[in-house]
Chain A
Amino acid sequence: MQELLVISGKGGTGKTSIVAALAALAEDKVLADCDVDAADLHLLLRPEVESVNEFYGSNKAVIDVRICTGCGRCLEVCRYEAIKEFRVNPVFCEGCGACKLACAAGAITMEPNLAGYWYISDTPYGPLVHAQLGIAEDNSGKLVTLVRQEARRLAQENNASLIITDGPPGIGCPVISSLAGVTLALVVTEPTVAGRHDLERVLSLASHFKVPVTVCINKYDLAPEKTREIEDYCHNAAITIAGKIPFDIDVARALVNAVPLTACSSGAAARAVRALWDSLQVHLERLKKSLS
């Protein structure tokens, strides 16, 4: 089983649209949405939810006011400004338990915290594992890990040969959890100064975790000179460009109609995604061979 992760560093480069478009092309796969903060893939895949599961993040401190003596030790030790007037604000509590240790009266307990939900769904393009982290919750890395584990389990059950994962933006905690141990990371960038800057950061993260990468330049024709810069940069870093997708109004249309691009368009962008998929298959095949 192989795992293809689509990430971008910078948000809004078109990751999710590309994942949905690939989902409509690939066979024998399981889909996973690891952008648990702001999950969007389900909007394009129209899932029928089969199971809803609770996700518990880190524990949160709770002060029992009947036992609390008001000594103030908890306020002194909390480094997250989570305790005000002997009340814990769960939004800021990281669940470290330092306050509980400090409380001489034993008024503080660490309670489990329902931090979100994860779902297994059926879509016209195959099973989807997705999640929604509660608003202002932490521990997105832990939820990402869970989504990936479930996707793997489903893939094993269904004898699927591939998992395609929509990753989160950035290079922090949830991205690290998404990236570790995948077969190949497809980095979607755009030809802008910000896209290029963020591409370099996310590529060094992938190299830090020794994950093979390939790049796709989305809307490449909007700024040809920036596209050339990115191509030169990748060339010098010995990173392949798996595809280049032109700006195409069909992409926005597909999005507004909530369907994968490759399921509704035969325009320039859809053709480019097909070519991208061909090239990704070659990549994955090569990686499979290099391991056997």
Chain B
Amino acid sequence: MKVAITARGNDPKAEADPRFGRCQYFVIADVEKGTFEAIANANQNAGGGAGVAAAQALVNAGVEVVLTGNVGPNALRVLQEAGIKVYSTAAPTVQAALQQWQAGGVSPLSRATVGSHFGMGRGGNKW
């Protein structure tokens, strides 16, 4: 099973990024194999639609679980339509987020936590 974590770096030790569409990297963990790969978020600076593009990239990568801070409504719709489970986490690193998910300590997101365009501004830290 592939789990994607939004991150500021490209390895498991990287800081987790609470923004979904405008994070720098998606670190993808293959839970069974215990391996990691990273995809750079090509649409981090898109004028609009960064969330949709990011969600599409994860769908195409065959991800089944996403761990992040905040997701906007458009991106969430794409992820949900693909049957990807989205969980909210405030863990500081990629590894910590993964451990938190494995321990069942993350809460599922069924509604957008932020409005459209959110990651353009405030998303960098909680407030």
Q: Are any A and B Cβ atoms less than 8 Å apart in their complex?
A: yes
Give A residues with C-beta under 8 Å from B.
Answer: 1, 3, 58, 139, 141-142, 145-146, 148-149, 152-153, 156, 173, 176-177, 180-183, 209-210, 288, 291-292
Give the size of the chain B interface in residues (CB under 8 angstroms): 18
**B118 lies within 8 A of A181 (CB):** yes
Q: Decide yes or no: A152 and B127 within 8 Å by CB, A139-B47, A180-B115, A209-B115 being known contacts.
A: no
- Chain A residue, CB-CB nearest to B50: A145
- Chain B residue, CB-CB nearest to A140: B47
Residues from chain A with a CB closer than 8 A to the CB of B119 are 181
Residues from chain A with a CB closer than 8 A to the CB of B45 are 142, 145-146, 149
**Residue of B46, B117, B118, B119 with most partner-chain A CB within 10 A:** B117
**A145 lies within 8 A of B47 (CB):** yes
Q: Chain A at the B interface: mostly helix, strand, loop or mixed?
A: helix
Measured in the bound complex, the distance between the Cα atoms of B39 and A13 in whole Å is: 45
Measured in the bound complex, the distance between the Cα atoms of B126 and A183 in whole Å is: 12
Among A1, A156, A177, A288, contact of B120 (Cβ-Cβ < 8 Å): A177
Residues from chain A with a CB closer than 8 A to the CB of B47 are 58, 139, 141-142, 145, 173, 177
Q: Chain B at the A interface: mostly helix, strand, loop or mixed?
A: loop
Residues from chain A with a CB closer than 8 A to the CB of B115 are 180-181, 209-210
Give B residues with C-beta under 8 Å from A.
Answer: 22, 45-48, 114-125, 127
Residues from chain B with a CB closer than 8 A to the CB of A145 are 45-47, 120
**B120 lies within 8 A of A181 (CB):** yes
- Chain A residue, CB-CB nearest to B121: A181
- Chain B residue, CB-CB nearest to A288: B127
Which 10 pairs from chain A and chain B are nearest by CB?
Answer: A142-B47, A181-B121, A180-B117, A181-B122, A141-B47, A152-B124, A145-B120, A181-B118, A180-B120, A291-B127
- Chain B residue, CB-CB nearest to A3: B121
**A181 lies within 8 A of B48 (CB):** no
